[in-house]
Structure formats: C-alpha cells, structure tokens
Structure 1
C-alpha cells in the first residue's frame, strides 16, 4: 500500500512540474528568438547604412533612402516607405527587388547589387524593426527657451541685488540689466505670439512625392484640371485618386521616381483608401476666405498667394498669410472696374466718380476690403 502511495505521489509530482518545464522552455525559446531578431536587425542596420567594410564599395541604402525628413525632394522612397511596403515580403521577393529589379529606374540604381539571402534576411529584419519603432525622431531646438530662461535669471539677480544684497555700488547697473533683459523677453513673447498659428515656409512630407514642377511646368497641366473648385467655391479642392488615375492609368513609371510613388495611387484605389494629403495653407477657423471671390471675381493669380508653385518640387507655404499681409494687399490692389463685369451693377456711386475723374482709381479697401465682417463673422 505504501509503495502504491509513493508511486502515485511521484506521478503527481511529475505531472505538476512538467508544465513549468514546458513554460520555461517556451520562454527561453522566445527570448532566444527575440535576441536573434535584434542581432539580425542590427546587422541589417549596418548593411543599410553602409557600415560593413566588405560592403563599403557598394552604394549604401541610406544614400538613396532617407531616414529623416529632408527639405529637398529625394525621389527615392524613404526608409519608412520601404519598411511598410517590403518588410513583410518573402526573401525571394526581396531578392527580385534588390538584386534583380525589372523597373527601369531601379535597375539603373541597383546595378551591381548582389546580396546573399542571409544579408537580405538581416535587411528585412531591420525594416521590420523600423516599421515597428518608426524613424529616428529629430530633437527639438530649445535655443530660444534657454535664452529666455537665462534672461529670467538675469532679471532675478538684478532684482535681488537692487532690493536685498545691494553689492553693486552703482544702482543704474542692475536697473539697466533688468530693463534690457525684460525688454528682450517681451520682444520674444510678442514675436512668438504673433507667429502663433502661422506656418510660413512649412513644407511637410506628403504621402506621395508629388511635384508641381513636373506636372504644371514639364507636362503643362492646367492648375484647374486638378483644383476644380478654385473658381467656383471657397476651397480650391484637392483631387481624388480617381483624377490622378486619368493619367496614371497609362503613365505607370515616373521619370525621376520610378514606379514606387505612382503605385501608391493604384494601391489607394484597390484598397478603397483615400490618399491622406497633409494640408499646408490653412487659415484660422474664425477667418472666412473664398477662392472664388479672389480668383474668379478678383482675377488674382495663384502665385500672388502661393508663390511660384509651378517651380516647386516640394510645395511650401511662401507667405505668412497674416491679417496684416491680407490688408496690405487690399490696400494696394487696384480694382479693374471697367473690364471686370462683376462690378458693372455694383458700387454705382464709385463708378460715377471714377467716370467723372473725381477719383483716379478704386482699390479693394474702397469696396469693403477693410470691413471686419467681410472676413470675420
């Protein structure tokens, strides 16, 4: 009986500890797999950045595929784009794209590339990690903050000496320091307050590398073909992917960008997902602005507000779009009263004065261009 009890106890003990053994083994396997992935991704990062000596003669991946935002248009897809497009693909697909590309542009750039399956695996793992972690974030510039705090310290020291320690013999020195530091601080606050909400020179990365120069200048596309609302509505409107497809159903490879960027249009159509363009020119919510009023009625050219867009590869905000800038334009712009039929039956008194020669010209400010209710209501 005692032997039977001993046997049952041993069996019960083994059954109890087996799952824990299995669990520990699974944890070890998982940790080992994760360690191998991290090591492989590090090797892939070195390959991507050209840090391996045996590959130093080849053109590095990072020399074409940016890891960070750039203010000049790099026609090659960014590292982030590649990570989201190719990281899940098989090694055989990787081999076709890197070592033996079919596309004309890629075959020129990748000429002489011969990566082994092991190296391609390292690159794939690096891209997977990049997709998960994102591209390196640029650190914010805090020079103005440091200067502001330093001026605050000077103000504090000047006040302490002026009212408490009184170690400086000449009282005008701490007073002078106090006034200069406080004045500069107020200047900094004023400039930052006025710049709040303004985005002059803003040029963000877009989901597709679209060049206005290529489309408007090189290929002679009229702005109104894409921006259909510019003469009839408040907004100029951004074209849908279907409008892009009118041309790119046939044009499948760009002169500079190859197939990668144009394929994004087809992917958006196939997946029924809109292209999320980043808006650049944006006025505050309390401001009313109509493109129809300015373009159709006022006969303004796009370049007056948006700069020479037809020469831009990367679209950026040229003007600050401040109220002062708008009012300055309203003060200077002469209304072509005689040839602009929109004004034929309006502002008759002004028209009569213009005809009689009482006034030599009409400006936007004379027909309500400075009335608050025109833009704010």
Structure 2
C-alpha cells in the first residue's frame, strides 16, 4: 500500500516538474536572437552616453524646457502598422549617414519644399542637441533598428492543451481523484480536438499570404497614382499582356512624370528623391515582392489578361484605393479553381478562342448561353502543374 502512495507522489512531482519546465521555456526563449549586440564605442568614436542623449532628444525627452514637437512624433523609430508618410528615423539615418553635420543641419533648419517647410515651422533646436541627434542617427544607420519580437500565443496555448491532456491521462490511469470519469475524458478529447484544429489551420495557411502588405523601400501609393491620377495599370506594368510577369517599372519610366513632379502632397520631396537618385545613378529599386506562388505552380499574366481579358481588380482587388499595396486574396488552388468555374470567358469576340468550334456552335444553337474557363480546360492539372 505504501508503494502505491509513493508512486502516486512521484507521479504528482513529475507532473508538476513538467508543467513548470514547459512554462519556464515559454517565457525564456532566447532573447539574444532578437537583440542587437552592444559595443562601447561606435566607428566614429562616440560613446553610448552621446548616442543615448541623441535618442532622448529625438524622442522629445530632452531638453526639459523644449517647446517644439519631438522628432519621433513624425519620424517613427519602430515599425508601425499604418503607413506613415513621413520618413522613418531609419530612412533619415541611411540618407545622411555619409553626410556631414552641416548638410544635415541645413536640411533640418532651412528646409525646402512646401510640406517640410510647414512641418518645421517654428522648429528651434540648439546646435549641440542637433549634433547629438546626428550622432544617434549615425549609430542607427550603423546598427539598425531593433527587430520586432515574435509572439508565442499559439505555442503557449498548444503546450497548455498538451498539459491538460497529460493531466487527464494521469488522472484516468493513476490518480483517480475525480469520481466522474467522463470529466477528464471530455477534457482530453476537447483539448486534443483543439490541437488538431490548430495544426490543420496552420497547415492550410502554410505558404499563403492573404493581406500581406510589406513596407517598401519607397512609399509608393497606388491610390495616388491609379486612383487620384487615374494612371492605367498597363502604363507602368508594361508586360502584363505579353509576359508571364506583369513587370516592375524601371525608375526611368517613373521619370516620365517625375522629371517635373519633384514633390508629393503626402511625402514631400523625400520619397520622390529616392526615385530620382535611382534613375540618375542607374541603381534599380529593390522592391519587396508581395504576390508569391509556389515553384510548382505556373501562372501567366499573358493568358489571363492578354488572352482572357480579365480586369486586374479580379485578382488584385481595388488597387486604386490602396496606399500600401497588399495581397487581396490567398491565391490558393481552391480560389483559382472556383474562379475558373464561375468566370465567364469573353468568348464570342475573342480571336484567341476561334478554334473551339463545338462551343461556338453550341452558343449559336442556344445549347449553352455562356462559356466558363473550366469549359475550355482551365482546371486541367497540367495547365498549372507540368
């Protein structure tokens, strides 16, 4: 009998230790992966004290008698969820990293451009404080911003459910503390069901990027260009009717307009100056790709837009309303198949489909009233996977 109670105590201790270790591991996942290394002195000889003072001035914490707006109120230090038309601290740091203090001071204290003049009106800052801001920005350009820390909510929930399952099994087999045996059984089944659902949901989402909207090296607004100014998509994406890809416009194409337009209503001169520099230096803009398909999938804009006469909005959504471009749909195989089943093809007046004689005869005879993409083989496996 004593051996039984001894075994029961051991099981309780082991269960408690497992619970404790899991929760400690959840909150002590290596922070070193998400922090930048510290050095006592940066390359140009300034100490951390100088850098920290510059950061505090930038954030408006110093000087105490300051009456002007803080720099950070317009120029964010960390990544933000919404589009901030003002340049970030990192963007300013990168632009002036190789320039001396006098050049930086002139831009800040004697701004040019309607937007910047209005923003810097009555902006007074001591020269010494501005020097510390430049020191801070130099360090920021050198070390970069702190990466965003990931969240582990799903992992913690999954592990907690695992603990519930473990407790339920131990209770049923060894402890027998609960008289109603169906209670731990319900907990086991419920927790396991939630775990399975979490796994299936994440597996389905694997490789899909619906609503993905990354920051871009230039704050380009489709709303301003395609919406407010009604620029046709094909003016910039020139290969959309003939090529597999729609094409990313070179900076030289942008200069067709921006040779004259050098200041934007939202971003002033800062963002457009990046386009001008790219065109003058011959350096392509390193845009972040938004719409990605797996390598085993073939997709051609020429087939869909050039031959099928689809409107861009059917896949990309209301681009003319987007300041920050995002992926409107998940681009899953199911989404594509449903579109092929439901979308009626511009069949009668399209020479691309002249060879479908039987379908043309059925249309004329009234046997069918329309033709979908599925009717002409769009859902054949080898159309996309070959």
User: Is TM (by shorter chain) over 0.5?
Assistant: yes
CA distance in 2, matches of 1:62, 1:184: 43
User: 1:309 maps to what in 2?
Assistant: 319
Q: 1-side partners of 2:157 and 2:384: how far apart?
A: 37
Q: How far 1:31 sits from its partner (Å)?
A: 6.9
Any idea what the Cα deviations from partners look like across 1:13-43, whole Å, max 9, x if unmatched? xxxxxxxxxxxxxxxxx97999953111111
2: CA distance, partners of 1:143 / 1:68: 22
Residue 106 of structure 1 is matched in structure 2 by 116
Larger Cα-atom Rg: 1
Structure 1 contact 47–55 (Cα < 8 Å) conserved = no
> How far apart, in 2, do the equivalents of 1:56 and 1:325 lie?
56
Structure 2 residue runs without a partner (length 5+): 1-39
What residue is the counterpart of 1:186 in the other structure?
Answer: 196
Match of 1:76 among 86, 94, 110: 86
Q: How many residues were matched structurally? A: 347
Match of 1:85 in 2: 95
Q: Which position in structure 2 is the counterpart of 1:357?
A: 366
Distance 1:39 1:192 in 2: 45
Name the counterpart of 2:140. Answer: 130
1:199 alignment partner in structure 2? 209
Aligned to 1:278: 288
Q: Aligned-pair distance for 1:52?
A: 2.1
Give the Cα–Cα distance (whole angstroms) in 1 for the partners of residues 384 and 220 of structure 2.
32
Q: Distance in 2 between matches of 1:320 and 1:55?
A: 52
Separation in 1, partners of 2:213, 2:41: 43
Specify the alignment match of 1:21 in structure 2: none
Root-mean-square deviation (CA, aligned residues, Å) is 1.9
Change (3 A) 1:323 1:55: farther
- Segment of structure 1 superposing worse, 65-74 or 299-308: 65-74
1:115 to 125, 129, 133: 125
Matched, 1:224 2:230: no
Q: d(CA) in 1 for partners of 2:111 and 2:241?
A: 45
TM (normalized to structure 1)?
A: 0.87
What aligned pairs does 1:217-366 form with structure 2 within 5 A after superposition?
217-346=227-356, 348-366=357-375
Give 1:373 deviation, angstroms: 0.8
Contact kept in structure 2, 1:203 and 1:314, CA below 8 Å? yes
C-alpha distance in 1 between matches for 2:370 and 2:289: 37
- Does the 8 A contact of 1:67 with 1:136 survive in 2? no
Q: 2:377 aligns with which of 353, 356, 368?
A: 368
* Kept in 2: contact 1:253–1:262 (CA 8 A): yes
For residue 128 of structure 1, report the CA deviation from its aligned partner. Answer: 1.3
Structure 1 pair 59–356 and aligned structure 2 pair: CA distance change class (3 A): same
- CA distance in 2: counterparts of 1:70 and 1:224, whole angstroms: 31
Contact (CA 8 Å) 1:69, 1:205: kept in 2 or not? no
- Segments of 5+ residues of structure 1 without an aligned counterpart are 1-29
What is the distance in 2 between the residues matched to 1:91 and 1:235? 44
Question: Which residue, out of 176, 181, 184, partners 1:166?
Answer: 176
Report the CA distance between 1:114 and its aligned residue.
Answer: 2.1
> Which residue is equivalent to 1:41?
51
Q: 1:91 to 1:335 in 2, by over 3 A?
A: closer
Asked if the contact 2:57/2:133 (under 8 Å) is kept, the reply is: yes
